[in-house]
Structure 1
């Protein structure tokens, strides 16, 4: 019978800078769907998520009651990533994290890249082939500045 690995991170509220373009959560599962708007609406209706931000018809950020977040995105594999599904983790120092991952033998999709939405990110695969995205907030960016649409709530 397979065993499950449960990962728990301490609350990083004081350690990570704010960015209005990304949820405050540390761990952000990213799940791929053929139609993110339909998926987001269903996840909200069925599981009680709330839409936080819609991004150009290809990505929707959802908040989880009680804290946490989920990102639903189109089913394609985005540039710099290995798979349609991944787990996103916010870190304080992306370059040091990247160096540590490379030294430990992680297969990385490239060097960290800074994006217009205020995050610096890189993708990696772990020893079992699971896809991860690590992200560091480098600026507090209003989602409207890059085309995000904040939901009232």
Structure 2
């Protein structure tokens, strides 16, 4: 069974974000629910058994009032999404070519994985790498 913890992100231009995330990271759009005025009320993107959910920025409703976009809080985040990939260098190049800001170039870690950090077109930070958290015993065996 896939993880039941599903990251939820808000974007001002959700259709463009969906296209970008699918092109750069390889997500597939499973569902979009249109909202008022061209907004996306809800979208689900899947990748290898995982999922993220997206929606358009809105200040309506309690949930919308709880969230801020990175540019509204000095480019900071209160959480990031970790995306496990097979080839961090290849994904980094796709991200760079699609306009991502690379915050940390691909590098090897002390526990044998390779990863990078980037900001997507609306400033959300993505932590992308080859570390497989389901294989934590690999890390424990090395420590």
TM-score range (shorter-chain normalised) is 0.3 to 0.5
Q: If the length of structure 2 is used for normalisation, what is the TM-score? A: 0.45
- Relative to total residues, which structure has the larger helix share, 1 or 2? 2
